């Protein structure tokens, strides 16, 4: 059985973003949320659905400081399915020199954290990092 963890992040302008992942338990969610927080310039505010240590921190003004900037990571699970995760306000060190491609060498450790502790919603473990790239999405405010 896997548990769903919703991690909320806020950038230095107060804009919010979420990362939803499935982990085996609260320890796995804690490890994954710490890795995501370490790879993001946004400050993490909370993790819902399970009890974990919240890795709070102030948002950092940097190259990709806004939660509209994301690093999209694509993984393959043991059952052959693919899964995408978007990290808000990624640190520039997550990218290769082209500033668009996620570095598979994993300088921040976030890819390893997903492979070690994240699952597909079906319970199948993530086994392979396929690719990653930078995305920019505009917030929808009415």
Cβ distance 120 to 77 under 8 Å? Answer: yes
DSSP three-state, residue 115: helix
The percentage of the chain sitting over the pLDDT mark of 70, rounded to a whole number, equals: 82
More confident residue, 113 or 44: 113
Entry pTM: 0.84
pLDDT(75) > 90 = yes
Which residues face 21 on adjacent strands?
5
- Domain positions in the chain are 3-134
Interval 46-50 mean pLDDT: 62
pLDDT(82) > 70 = yes
Q: What is the pLDDT of residue 64?
A: 52
More confident residue, 76 or 49: 76
Per DSSP, 124 falls in state P
Taking CA atoms, 30 is separated from 6, 22, 34, 101, in Å, by 11, 11, 6, 27
State the angle between helix axes of 110-117 and 26-38 in degrees (0 to 180), rounded to the nearest 10.
Answer: 170
Q: What is the pLDDT of residue 129?
A: 98
Cβ distance 21 to 32 under 8 Å? Answer: yes
* Cα angle 80, 82, 87; round to 5: 150
Question: What does the pLDDT look like over 3-21, one tens digit per residue?
Answer: 888 888 888 888 888 899 9
Taking CA atoms, 5 is separated from 39, 40, 76, in Å, by 17, 17, 19
């Amino acid at each position: 059985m896997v548990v769903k963890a919703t991690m909320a992040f806020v950038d230095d302008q107060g804009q919010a973003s979420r990362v939803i992942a499935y982990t085996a338990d609260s320890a796995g969610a804690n490890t994954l949320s710490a890795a995501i927080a370490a790879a993001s310039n946004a400050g993490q505010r909370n993790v819902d659905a399970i009890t974990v240590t919240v890795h709070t921190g102030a948002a950092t003004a940097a190259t990709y400081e806004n939660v509209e900037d994301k690093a999209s990571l694509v993984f393959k699970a043991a059952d052959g399915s693919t899964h995408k995760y978007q990290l808000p306000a990624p640190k520039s060190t997550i990218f290769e020199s082209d500033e668009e491609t996620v570095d598979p060498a994993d300088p921040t450790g976030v890819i390893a954290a997903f492979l070690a502790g994240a699952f597909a919603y079906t319970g199948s473990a993530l086994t392979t990092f396929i690719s990653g790239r930078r995305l920019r999405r505009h917030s929808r405010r009415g």
